[in-house]
Amino acid sequence: MAAYNLLKNITGDLVSTNFVKYKLRDRPEWKAFIESVEGQQKVATALWDDDGSFGTCTISLAGTTDATRVTDAWRRTWRNMRLSFAGGNSEWIRTESDEKIGDVPVQQKVDLLLNQNVLVPNSPTFTIHTAEWGPLWLIHRYKGERDKIDPKIWQVEFPVGAPGATGSVRLKLKFDRVLPELDKWPAR
């Protein structure tokens, strides 16, 4: 929260009377700094709720279609999926559906657990791990694409990696607020 407030204060200073009066935005030595701060502010604004807590991301499995049948081949072997993260787990869902898997705080590492059949005792499970800030990591690592209709939703596709599985896991990530396009994120 302190970083968010600091960015907010800096952003406010950048539009103050002195910055405008002396045209500091036009000076090359200030341009990169100003762009970086404004980019960071846009990301921070998208990730924090009004009460100062981190927002959440709703993660859903994208549905299958005739066009994605080959990509979704893994779903015939790995029939169930759920989310796990510090402080929570979701319920198992069927992988042939296009339903919500669960909600996760944006700053958490996320594990996606695949199971061949949760109704069978000791059924094999395979875990796909993310780094910290799991939903954002997925978008950046796999070059997610923002939805054309709802800019709060991102589509991410990545190799399933489970034994005996072919194809890709296709997820929909819905954030509380609109994140900037990937090319608009600050480099530092």
Q: What is the mean pLDDT of the chain?
A: 88
**Amino acid 134: pLDDT:** 96
pLDDT one-digit tens code per residue, 162-180: 998 999 999 999 999 999 8
Cα dist from 93 to 82, 98, 114, 149, 152, whole Å: 6, 9, 10, 26, 23
Q: Which residues, 6 or more positions from 46, have their beta carbon under 8 angstroms from its beta carbon?
A: 55, 175, 176, 177, 178, 179, 180
Separation of alpha carbons 161 and 167, rounded Å: 9
DSSP state, 15? T
Residues paired with residue 48 on neighbouring β-strands, in sequence order = 54
Q: Is the pLDDT of residue 146 over 90?
A: yes
Enumerate helices (H) and strands (E) in the chain, giving the number of each: 4, 10
Report all structural domains of the chain as residue ranges with CATH numbers, in order of start: 2-52 (no CATH), 56-175 (2.60.40)
The model's pTM: 0.84
In this predicted structure, the answer to whether residue 133 has a pLDDT above a threshold of 70 is: yes
